[in-house]
Structure formats: structure tokens, C-alpha cells
Amino acid sequence: MSTNIDKEVEAGPQEPQIEKKMSKAMKLTLLVINCTMLAIGNTGGPLLLRLYFVRGGKRKWLTSWLQTGGWPLVLVPLYISYISRRRKEGDFAKAILITPSLFAFCAGIGILTGLDDYMYAYGSSYLPVSTSSILISSQLVFNALFALFLVRHKFTPYSINAVILLTIGAVVLGVRSGGDRPPNESNFQYYLGFFMTIGAAALYGLMLPLLELTYMKTKQAITYALVMEMQMVLSFFATAFCTIGMLMNNDFKVIPREASEYRRGEATYYLVLVAIAVLWQLFFLGMVGVVSCSSSLHAGVLISVLIPVSEILAVFFFTEKFNAEKGIALVLSLWGFASYFYGEVKKYRKEKRLAEIELREQQEMEG
């Protein structure tokens, strides 16, 4: 998600000009906290989602709902942020920053998120975590393609290389993926989960450029508090979408029965559900925080670095097979990520250098 768009808005005639600065120590502390939340959510969320299905859970709409159902947790940091603004700005502090148009954009993307959650949950119900985590990384391919058309991001040799490597990795898994098919699961179910996960990656790759386009079109400054409000609206509508799916599928009626039949017991069943909701919300909050405190590049690097961690944990907890094909696909995925982010770093440094040269020339002309 790219949110590094520096914008300025004009203050009203009576509104005080407030200089918002954060000490390096505080910024580093927040960055560490958000990186920790992202790491815990990114590794723990998929594992617990798979645990739900492995131990007897079957409700796909329910697990879709859980991925964003923890959105009320965002109210806590939002309230703290509002209190902080009140201390600095007094009566000029706004309780709600999001505008109606931005709210509408986020609502639409939230519905797409709900669909994406369902596709990912469907894939997770049939695929081992060690397979789905590699497949979902292919979102970078779709992200690059959609960003080209929606926000005019140009392809570079590095991004092209990343697209090719990630595509080959997915093909390698698809050609020889039957070896890790869980027992009591048909080939049709396995490949359906495979392609649903690819579909979830594609949809997620579409949503990120849509979010960036939203940031570009908005007429207000993009702050951490505003991004949290956008995330809450997005999660709320995604949850509402999945709630409709649950109602149509009679999930609410089946939950008590499924809890009583859960292999680890009824108490463990509800504990797993709550933990899934909390961990996925930690992931979203951590991602927003890392992007705001550092950059989307940093968030992307951290997520890619965590792929091997997910692989190791999946093999350890679920005794999943880690064959040669998965090893090749993992190496190709990490190579693709490294190529993509190296290109982004070079692009950022070049743009920064050109901006500094332009600023010096402007100062010389004025002087």
C-alpha cells in the first residue's frame, strides 16, 4: 500500500497553525511497536485460520468475517489520537477527519475487501499454509499491473523481473502441487483452493492501487489518524459484506453446533475465533502504522521477510510437507521481492536527488 503522498491543506482563517513534530525516539518507538504488531498478525493470522479448518471448522463466511470483524479495536488508537489533537489544537480539533467522498471510496473498497477475505478463507480451507503464503505473495504481480493502468506507475527492469519470478514461482507450485494435498481432500477441492487464493491475490493487488488513487484524489492531508479512520470504514463495510454472506449461509445458527463438535473443545473453538479476529486486526493496524511512521516500502519488505517464518511455523505446527517445489517457489518469491524493492529504492533516491536539484535551482533564481 503506497501512502507516501505529501500533501498540504490550507488552514481556515481563524484556525491556529500547529507545528506537528515527533521526536526521533518517539517515532522509533512507534515504528518498533507497529512492526511487532504487523509481524505477529502476518504470521499468526494465517496459522490460526488454518487451525480452525484443520480441527474441524467448515464455515468459510465466518472466517471471512473474522478477518475484519475486529475493527472496533481501531477505536482505541483513534480515541487516543483525538485526545492528543485536543491537547494541541483545542476546540479546533475535529473528532472525525474523513470526508463524505473519502468515506464513500473506502466503503466501496471495503466491499471488495470482504470479497477478497472470502476468497482467501476459501483457499485457506483447502491449502496448507506453506502453499497459500507463497501464492498470496503473487499479489505483487497484480499490484504492478493494476498500478500501471490506475495510477500510471511505470514498469522498470526490476519490477518486470519481479513479475516474471513470482509468476514462475506460482507456476512451479501449480504444476507439482498435488504432493502436499491434505488427506481426505479431493484434487478438485485442492485446485479450487489454489485458484481461489490466486484470485484473492489478484483482488488484493487491485485494491492497493485503488487506495493509492483514493489518496491522490483526496483534498486533505493524509495523516496517521485519517488512515486509521479509513481502515476502520473499510473493515466495517468488509465485515458487513461478510455478515450478509453468513446470514445467507445460516452460519449464525450453525456456530453453536460447530463449537460443540470442535475437536479441541468448545472453549478452544471460541478462543480460536477471537484470536483470529484480534491477530488480523493487529496486522492491519501494524501495516498502517509502519507505512505512516516509515514507508510502504518498509512494510512490504517486512511482509516479504516474514514469508519464510510462516513456512517454518506451518511445517512445525501442522507438520506440512516442504518439498523441493515449495523451496524453489519460495526462493523465486523472495528474489522477486528483493528485485522489486531494490528498484523502488533506486527510484526513490533518483526522485529525491532530482527534487533537491530543482529546489537548489529555484533558490538560486530567487536569490
Give the DSSP letter string of 52-101: HHHTT---HHHHHHHHHTTGGGGHHHHHHHHHHHHHHHGGG--S----HH
Please check the confidence at residue 109 and state whether its pLDDT lies above 80.
yes
Please check the confidence at residue 122 and state whether its pLDDT lies above 80.
yes
For 205-242, write each residue's pLDDT tens digit. 888 788 778 777 777 777 778 888 988 999 999 999 99
Q: Of the candidates 333, 332, 335, 347, which has an alpha carbon nearest to the alpha carbon of residue 297?
A: 347
Q: Which one has a higher pLDDT value, 37 or 183? A: 37
The torsion of the CA quartet 172, 174, 177, 182, rounded to 10 degrees, works out to: 150
Q: Which one has a higher pLDDT value, 189 or 367? A: 189
For 288-338, write each residue's pLDDT tens digit. 777 767 666 566 667 777 777 787 888 788 877 777 777 787 788 788 778
| Category of 250 on φ-ψ map: left (φ > 0), alpha (ψ -120 to 50) or beta | left
Of the pLDDT bands very low, low, confident and very high (cuts 50, 70, 90), residue 4 is: very low
Please answer whether residues 303 and 38 qualify as being in contact, where contact means their C-beta atoms are separated by less than 8 angstroms: yes
Residue 54: φ, ψ to 5°: -65, -35
What mean pLDDT comes out for the span 327-352?
78
Please check the confidence at residue 243 and state whether its pLDDT lies above 90.
yes
What is the distance in angstroms between the CA of the first residue and the CA of the last residue of the chain? 40
Q: Of the candidates 139, 69, 115, 121, which has an alpha carbon nearest to the alpha carbon of residue 307?
A: 139
Please check the confidence at residue 136 and state whether its pLDDT lies above 70.
yes
Residue 299: φ, ψ to 5°: -60, -45
Please check the confidence at residue 60 and state whether its pLDDT lies above 90.
yes
Q: What is the pLDDT of residue 103?
A: 92
Please check the confidence at residue 71 and state whether its pLDDT lies above 90.
yes
Q: Which one has a higher pLDDT value, 62 or 307? A: 62
For 155-177, write each residue's pLDDT tens digit. 778 778 877 877 777 777 666 65
Q: What is the pLDDT of residue 6?
A: 35
DSSP letter at 250? T
Q: What is the pLDDT of residue 140?
A: 75
What mean pLDDT comes out for the span 100-106?
89
Average pLDDT, the chain: 81
Q: What is the pLDDT of residue 237?
A: 96
CA distance 101 to 105: 6
Please check the confidence at residue 259 and state whether its pLDDT lies above 90.
yes
Q: Which one has a higher pLDDT value, 49 or 7? A: 49
Residues above pLDDT 70, as percent of the chain: 88
Q: Which one has a higher pLDDT value, 12 or 291? A: 291
Q: What is the pLDDT of residue 22?
A: 54
Q: What is the pLDDT of residue 251?
A: 93
For 176-215, write each residue's pLDDT tens digit. 655 667 777 788 888 899 899 999 989 988 887 887 787 7
